[in-house]
Chains A and B, each alone.
Chain A
Amino acid sequence: MNELELKLKGKVPGDDTGIEIRKSVCAICDPGTQCGLDLYVKDGTIIKVAGTKEAPHSHGTLCSKGAAMRQYVYSPERVLTPLRRTGERGSGQFEPITWDEALDEIASKLNGIKREFGPESVMFFSGYAKWARPYLMRFAMDFGSPNYLTESSTCATAMVMAQQLTYGAPAGPDLKNTSCVMYWSHNPSATKSLNLEGINRKIESGAKVIVIDPRVTDLAQLADVFLQLRPGTDGALALAFGHVIIEEGLYDREFVASWTRGFDEYKQLVADMTPEKAAGICGVAAADIRAAARMYAEAKPACVHFSAAPVVHHTNGVQNYRAVFCLIALTGNLDVAGGNRINPASLVHQPGGFPTREREFTCAHRLAGLPERIGARRFPVWARLCNEAQACDIPRQMRTDDPYPLKALFALGLNYRMFPGSQDFLDEVCKLDFIVDADLFLTDSAKHADIVLPCCSSAERREIRCWPMGYVQFTQPAIEPVGESRSDVDILAELSKRLGLGDELLEAGIEACVEWMMEPSGLTVKDLDEHPEGMWVPGAKPPAERKYLDGGFRTPSGKVEFVSSVLEDVGGEGCEALPSYREPAMSPVSRPDLAEEYPLVLGLGARLPMYQHTRTFRLPWTRSLSPDPHADVNPADAAAAGIADGGWMTVATPKGSLTVRAHVTGLVREGDVHMYHDWPQANANDLLDGDYLDPISGFPGYRSSLCKIAPASAEGRGAGHD
C-alpha cells in the first residue's frame, strides 16, 4: 500500500484523503449525556464516528450506542419520503407521497377535528430524541390543546416530582466538591459509562461511596458499603437511614429547625422504622444500614446521586424517592457545595449555568386557560407539578371519553412499548381517527400511523444543547438529510403555516427560535455559529450556594417539606403527606395470595449497554452483541426451575408470558428476575397491566411485580421487529 492508500484505510483526515471531521452531537440517548461526535465525512457521507476531544462532558469518548451512529444514520429502515397508509393499521403498507400532500392532509385533518371536537381532542406527543420538545409544546399551545405529552410520562418526571414535593426543584449531586457519594440506583456501566472515570478518580482521592441497588453492578463493587435491597423497598431503607441519623444526633439541627416543615411528624415516622425492621423488609443487614447511614451523615459534605427512573418505577415510587431526598435536607447537604445543589435548567432539561427564555418559549403559561389535561383528575399531583399531560391515562380516556373524547395524535417519535400493557395501549391509540408519526425509521409504532413523516438524525439537522459546566453547542448539519427527511422543527414550522396558527417566531425557523430563547444569555446565533464544535458561555457560573436564604424553597411553605403541603391538600390512598412506606402493590408481602403461584419478584427496565429503549435494536453492530431477549435469574431459582444458563424459559405474570433466554447470574438476588424492556420480539412491558401505576405520578410499577419462570423451547418465542 502506498501512503495515500494506507491513510484511506486508516480513515485519516486530510486534504489528500478528502476526509473531513465535522462536529455534531449524539442524540441516541437522553440529554443527560449527549456526547460530542466527530463525524468523519468523505464525499458527503459519514465513513467513521469518533468522540469529540474538546467536548467538556464526554472528552472524546462514546458508548457502544454512539459508536454505532453510522448504522443509525444509514439504516436501510430509514423512512425516505412522507408515507400515507394504504393497508390496515400495523400492516406496514404505505404509499410514498410528497411533503406538500402530507402537510396539507395533516393540516386539513387536524383543523377539521379541532372544529368538530375541540383542540383538546388532539394530542401532541414527543418520544426520543428530546431536543424538539420545547418547540412541540409551543406548537401544541398554539393549536390550543393542553395535551402535550411525552415518554417522560414513564421516565424522570416522577423523580423530579419527588424533589419538587420535598424542596421545590431538582438538586443535582455536586460530585466535584463532595467527600461521599450515595448512589441510589445508578448503573453507569450500562447508561453513562463515561461517568466511571470520574467516579474512579473520586474514589482514588479518598471519597466514600455507598451504593444502593437490587443488583450487583460494577459500581457496587467499588463501594465502601453496598446495600442490595429487595426491589421497591427503597422507602423503608431511607426511613431507616433517617432513624439512625436522628437517633445518633447526626442531623443538622439548625437547618432542620429553620428550614423544614413537619420534622416532628417525620421523626415519629422514622422512629418506627428501626434498622432491624428495615432489614427484614429490604433483605439487607441492619449493621450495614447503620454503617451506610453514619457514613453519609458524618461525611461533610455528602451527596445523593439519583437516577431518572428505577426508584420511581414502583407503585410506591414517588414516596420512596421522597424518603431518600428527605435525607439530603436532614443532614444539611441541600444546596451546599459538595451536597445536592438546586440548579435550574437552561435548555432541554439541562443546566448550563446561563439564563434562557426556553420556558417562556414553550408558552406553558397558556395551559391555565385550556381544558384539563389527560390524567389531570386521576393524577392531580402530576397536574399540579408538571406541564405535561400524563400519557399513561390515554387508554382510560380512550375507553371512557371522560372528560372528553380523544380523536387524533401527532407524534414525534412514538414508541408504544414505553407504556405498561403496551399492546393494550397501542390497541386504544389505534381507535383514534387520525395518527401522524414522525420518525427516522418505520417502527412498529409508526406502522400504525395514517401519515408517517421522515425525520433527520442529529447528524443531519441543527440543534442546541448545553452542558452543566457552562458549555453550549448549536450544531451544524454534518451531512445532507437522508432521503427527503427533515428536522422536527422544520416540520413543525411548515405545519404551523398550513394550520394557520400565526406563530411568526416558530414559523421563522430554528435560528430565529434559538436567537429568541438565548437572548438572556447574551449569546446570539452569530456567536454560536462561529463555534460549531461548541463554546464556553461567557459568564456562565455554577449555581450559588444556599439560594433559599433569599426567598426560601419553591414549595408552598417555602421550606423543605417532610410533610408535603401538596400531598396533604390532595390526600387519598398512597398520597400520604409524609413519605411513609407502603409495599409495592404486587410483592410477596403485599400479595401472598398471588405469590403462591408467582413467587418471584420481577424487575423490568434494567439496562443493557448497547440498547436505549427501542433505538438500537435494528443496528447490526449493536444487535450482534446481544441478539436474543433474556432475563437475569439467580442460580438457585434457575436450578429450582430446571433452567440452564442460556436456555429458553418463559417468564409469566398474571397478565401474560414471554419466552426469553435465561442469563443465570449471581449478580441478582435469589427470588428476583430482571429483564430489559422493549425487545422487539419479547416486550417486557406487556407483562404488566396498564393500570399498575403509582397513584401520585401515574408512573408504571415496572421494577417490582410478581412472576414465575419455567423451562421452554425456542419455538415459543415470537418474531418481531423494532
Chain B
Amino acid sequence: MIRKSLCFDAKKCVGCYACAVACMDQNDIDVVGDGVAYRFVAHVEGEDGGDVRIAHVSMACMHCEAAECLDACPAGALHRDEASGAVVVRRELCIGCHACAMACPFGIPRFGRDGTMQKCDACYARTRFGYGPACAEICPTGALTFEEVNDAADAKLKRFGRSLV
C-alpha cells in the first residue's frame, strides 16, 4: 500500500502563504524567539516567449524514501515514523552539527537560536488519527494536498490530456 503524502501542484499555487502560517499555528512556531518556519513559499519569475511569467512554490521537508539527512545524522536525532513515513527530528538529541543541512538537496533543515535543527514532520501526530496536515487542510486552491501520490499524478495527467483538446 502506498501511504498518503503531501503532494504539491505548482499550477494551482498562487503564493498566498496560508500553508506557511497554518504550519506556524499548528506547531506553535515562535518566529521572533527560537523558532524557525518549517514551510517556505517562493515566487519565481521567468519569461515565456517574451511574456513575463510567475510561479509559486510551497516547500517543506519532502520526507524522502531515501532520506539523505537521516543517513547523515551522526546523533540519531532523525528517525522515520513508520506509520506515516515522515522523517521526524528529535531536537533533544540534535547536536547541531549541520550534517543534515549539508546532505539535504532541498535546503530544508533550519536551525533556531538554540542551534538544533527544526523542520516539518508532516503532522504525523495528526495523520495518525485521521486528520490532515495543517498546510494541506487550509490550502485554498488545492495546490497542496494530502493523498496517495499516484492519485495526485492522475489528476495532473488528466489535466494534461484536457489541454491537448
A-B complex is real = yes
Give chain A's interface residues, CB within 8 Å of chain B. Answer: 1, 6-7, 9-12, 48-51, 58, 60-64, 66-68, 70, 188-190, 193-194, 196-197, 200, 204, 216, 218, 221, 609-610, 620-622, 624-625, 665-667
With both chains docked as a complex, state the minimum distance between the C-beta of A385 and any C-beta of chain B, in angstroms.
34
Report the bound CA distance from A516 to B132 in whole Å. Answer: 42
Q: How far is the CB of A35 from chain B (nearest CB, A)?
A: 9
Contact check, A196 vs B20: say whether CB atoms are below 8 A apart.
no
Please pick, from A12, A190, A621, the residue contacting B21 in the complex, using a CB distance under 8 A: A621
Pairwise interchain contact A12-B125, C-beta atoms closer than 8 A:
yes
Whether a CB of chain A sits under 8 angstroms from the CB of B67 is no
Chain A residues within 8 Å of B139, by CB: 61
Residue in contact with B138 in the complex, picked from A61, A221, A620, A665, CB distance below 8 Å: A61
Could you tell me the distance in whole angstroms from the C-beta of A457 to the nearest C-beta in chain B? 15
Contacts of B129 in A (CB 8 A): 6-7, 10, 12
- Given contact pairs A61-B139, A62-B22, A621-B31, A189 touches B125 in the complex (Cβ within 8 A): no
Given contacts A50-B138, A193-B140, contact A609 B25 (CB under 8 A): no
- Count class of interface residues, chain B: 35 or more
Do the beta carbons of B20 and A193 come within 8 Å of each other?
Answer: no
Task: Please name the residue on chain A nearest to B142 by beta carbon.
Answer: A197
Query: What does the 1/0 interface line of B21-48 toward A look like (CB < 8 Å)?
Result: 1101110011110000100010001010
Q: How far is the CA of A609 from the CA of B19 in the complex (A)?
A: 12
Cα–Cα, bound, A194→B162 (Å):
23
What residues on B are CB-neighbors of A48 within 8 Å? 25-26, 134
The reply to whether A10 and B17 contact each other, CB–CB distance below 8 Å, is: no
Asked whether, in the complex, the Cβ of A12 is within 8 Å of the Cβ of B131, the reply is yes
Residue contact A63 to B32, C-beta cutoff 8 Å: no
A67 to B25, CA, bound (A): 7
Bound Cα distance from A197 to B52, whole angstroms: 23
Q: Which residues of chain B come closer than 8 Å to A624, judged between CB atoms?
A: 31-32, 37
- Closest CB-CB distance, B22 to chain A, in whole Å? 5
Contacts of B30 on A, CB cut-off 8 Å?
620
A666-B14 contact in complex given A10-B126, A11-B26, A51-B137, C-beta closer than 8 Å: no
**Closest approach, in angstroms, between the C-beta of B35 and any C-beta of chain A?**
9
Q: Which A residues lie within 8 Å of B32 (CB)?
A: 620, 624
Which 5 A-B residue pairings sit nearest by Cβ, starting from the closest? Answer: A10-B125, A67-B21, A64-B17, A189-B14, A10-B126
9 contacts between A and B (CB under 8 A): A10-B128, A12-B125, A189-B14, A196-B140, A204-B162, A218-B14, A218-B56, A620-B30, A667-B52
Contact of B16 among A7, A60, A189, A221 (CB under 8 A): A189
Q: Does B97 contact A (CB under 8 A)?
A: no
How many pairs of A and B residues are in contact by the CB < 8 Å rule?
123
Which residues on B are within 8 Å of A, measured CB to CB? 12, 14-18, 20-22, 24-26, 29-32, 37, 41, 45, 47, 52-54, 56, 123-126, 128-129, 131, 134, 137-142, 159, 162
Assuming A62-B140, A624-B31, A665-B45, is B54 touching A216 (CB within 8 A)?
yes
State whether B138 touches A51 (Cβ < 8 A): yes
CB distance from B146 to the nearest CB of A (A): 13
Q: When the two chains form their complex, are residues B141 and A196 in contact, meaning their CB atoms are under 8 A apart?
A: yes
> CB-CB < 8 A to B37: which residues of A?
624
- CB B84 to nearest CB in A, in angstroms, measures 11
Q: How far is the CB of A38 from chain B (nearest CB, A)?
A: 10
Q: Distance in Å from the Cβ of B54 to the closest Cβ of chain A?
A: 6
Shortest Cβ gap from B93 to chain A (Å) = 14
Contact partner of A6 among B29, B54, B128, CB < 8 A?
Answer: B128
Contacts A11-B26, A204-B162 given: A63-B125 contact, CB under 8 Å? no
Question: With the chains together, A625 CA to B134 CA distance in Å?
Answer: 18
Contact A70/B25 with A10-B129, A204-B162, A621-B31 known, Cβ cut-off 8 Å: yes
Whether A60 contacts B45 by the Cβ 8 Å rule is: no
CB distance from A73 to the nearest CB of B (A): 12
Q: Is the CB–CB distance between B21 and A68 below 8 Å?
A: yes
- Residues of B close to A200: CB separation below 8 A: 12, 141
A196 contacts across to B, CB distance below 8 A: 12, 14, 140-141
| Distance in angstroms between the alpha carbons of A411 and B36 in the assembled complex | 38
Q: Measured between alpha carbons, how far is A103 from B26 in the docked complex, in Å?
A: 40
Q: Is the CB of B134 within 8 A of A50?
A: yes
Q: Within the assembled complex, what's the spacing in Å between the Cα atoms of A12 and B22?
A: 15
A6 touches B125 (CB 8 A): yes
List chain A residues, Cβ under 8 A from B14.
188-189, 193, 196, 218
Cβ-defined contact, A62 with B126, below 8 A: no
Closest chain-B Cβ to A67's Cβ sits at a distance in Å of 4
- CB-CB under 8 A from B24, the residues of chain A are 67-68, 621
| Bound Cα distance A10, B139 (Å) | 18
- In the complex, which residue of chain B has the Cβ closest to the Cβ of A216? B52
For A11, list chain B residues within 8 Å (CB): 26, 126
- Is the CB–CB distance between A9 and B21 below 8 Å? no
Q: Is the CB of A63 within 8 A of B140?
A: yes
**Known contacts A63-B140, A620-B31; A609/B16 CB under 8 A:** yes
Is A63 touching B53 in the complex (CB atoms < 8 A)?
no
Q: Which residue of B lies closest to A634 (CB)?
A: B52
New A-B pairs, 14, CB < 8 Å, besides A48-B25, A609-B17, A624-B37:
A9-B125, A12-B131, A51-B138, A64-B16, A68-B21, A70-B25, A194-B140, A200-B12, A621-B24, A624-B32, A665-B45, A666-B45, A666-B47, A667-B45
